[in-house]
Amino acid sequence: MIVAVDGPTASGKGTIAKALAAHYGLPHLDTGLLYRAVGRQVVLNGGDPENPADAEAGTGFPDDLLADPVLRSEASGQLASVVSVHPGVRARLLERQRAFANRPGGAVLDGRDIGTVIAPDAEVKLFVTADIAVRALRRFLEMRDRGEDVTLELIEADLRIRDERDRNRASSPLVAAEDAALLDTSELDAAESVAEAIRLVEEKRRRA
């Protein structure tokens, strides 16, 4: 079973995807981490993430970079949003993601174009969303707990920029697949969000 979990930043898709993977005994891939690694590698290379050639060169990052905690920083998230608009970057990471999705037994992947591009034939597709004010608060609390000096206002402004960039990029824009089940987590905590996701997966499996 392939489960595709898409949605904007801080919607809860990562938490949900990890929980679904654990519940069904499937491997999980946070595809956003790949783009964070690309952005980080561009910086390490001394390149410009806005430059398509520099961004594509960043796709050659070593696998051990994925374990670097700096990838979870807000700065890395911003870099990921920038490099992800380049069609060449998306093309170079495409096969890596598809290979993970199509492994024997299936997998759970979360990102922004899993159900539409990476695994369009996934048995289950979820599109996770939440009000931007809720998402901003979640990200603020997460970053504060990591000791990062941020403000709620700046985070919300950054999320709006990321949303605009993700939804309007020419290559693989952020959009719900036509057959995706919508899961709004605005008024749900993590446990409630996971429970609803499992319910939606089971409902889809019964209909299959």
Q: Where are the domains of the chain?
A: 2-202
Lowest mean pLDDT among 31-40, 54-63, 139-148, 173-182: 139-148
pLDDT at 89 over 80: yes
The residue written with tokens 């990102």 in the block is 111
pLDDT cut 70: percent of the chain above it: 100
Q: Enumerate residues 6+ apart whose C-beta is below 8 A from 54.
A: 42, 45, 47, 48
- Phi and psi at residue 184, in whole multiples of 5°? -95, 115
More confident residue, 192 or 167: 192
Percent of the chain whose predicted confidence (pLDDT) is above 90 = 80
Residues ≥6 apart with Cβ < 8 Å to 44: none
What is the arithmetic mean of pLDDT over 80-87? 91
**Fold annotation for 2-202:** Rossmann fold (3.40.50)
Res 72: pLDDT: 86
pTM: 0.86
pLDDT score of 150: 87
pLDDT reported for residue 208: 72
What is the structure's pLDDT at 207?
A: 86
